[in-house]
Structure 1
């Protein structure tokens, strides 16, 4: 073996999938930032209260990233990745 777990013929597809999955994270963060003014207006929340929503999202995402890493170790990277995207 050449020290990688990905066959040479699939490397391009793995790279594309990783880039698209990473983009999902950025899109999620952007959506939350864009929604902040609407959340403030519709909920009648102060800036500090809306920042708690953002912090709760970041904390939840961080916990799920750790759980996803553990799932990748336990069940395999491909299965964990596909489950996480679904």
Structure 2
């Protein structure tokens, strides 16, 4: 299954791209599994997306948790939490 992955703010800066099309293996069917797959690339991917990082995630432009299922053509996004006032 192919999905579109988008990276925003400091995540985009760390990994060096704003988006990519990703072919998922059969066992990667949730947003959390997509994150783990990206982390397994190592290096800057592990630093930017690893479990030690507080990240927000969205699937189909709706905020979600790691258990959210992904489907063919879905857009999955990763970005840091936003603070401000």
Same fold (TM over 0.5): no
For the pair shown, the structure with the greater C-alpha radius of gyration is 1
- Structure with higher RCO (Cα < 8 A, 6+ apart): 2
TM-score tier by shorter-chain length is under 0.3
Question: TM-score by structure 2 length?
Answer: 0.23
- The structure richer in strand per residue is 2
